[in-house]
Homo-oligomer: A and B are copies of this chain.
Amino acid sequence: MVLHILNRSPSMSRVFQQALDAMGTDDRLLLIEDGVQGALPQLIPYLEPVLGRLFVLKEDLVSRALEGHCDARAIVVDVDGFVSLTEEADKTVSWF
């Protein structure tokens, strides 16, 4: 299982599509930094193919005042959970 890490919002950058194209059926996607915007209910359709395997970093939601506004299907993890995701993955790939 590969952990893919995305730090760009789908509203501005198309890199999310590259990440999706490169993801295997068990791979996971973690949204960090400006990428957490992708967990908004209006933007999450872009990431529809990986729902259930979509994680979003709590700290980056909080600093942006987005914590209460996420789609419930995005799994919120804090930075310790981020480390734990990297423990469980064979390797990670960062998309930027």
Contacts and interface: CB of A to CB of B under 8 A. Distances in A.
Interface of A: 11-15
Nearest to A13: B13
In the A-B complex, the 7 residue pairs with the smallest Cβ-Cβ separation, listed nearest first, are A12-B14, A13-B13, A12-B13, A12-B15, A13-B14, A14-B14, A11-B14
State the number of copies, please. 2
Contacts of A14: 11-14
A45 to B, nearest CB: 16
A38 to B, nearest CB: 14
A15 B12 CA distance: 7
Contacts of A13: 12-14
A87 B14 CA distance: 34
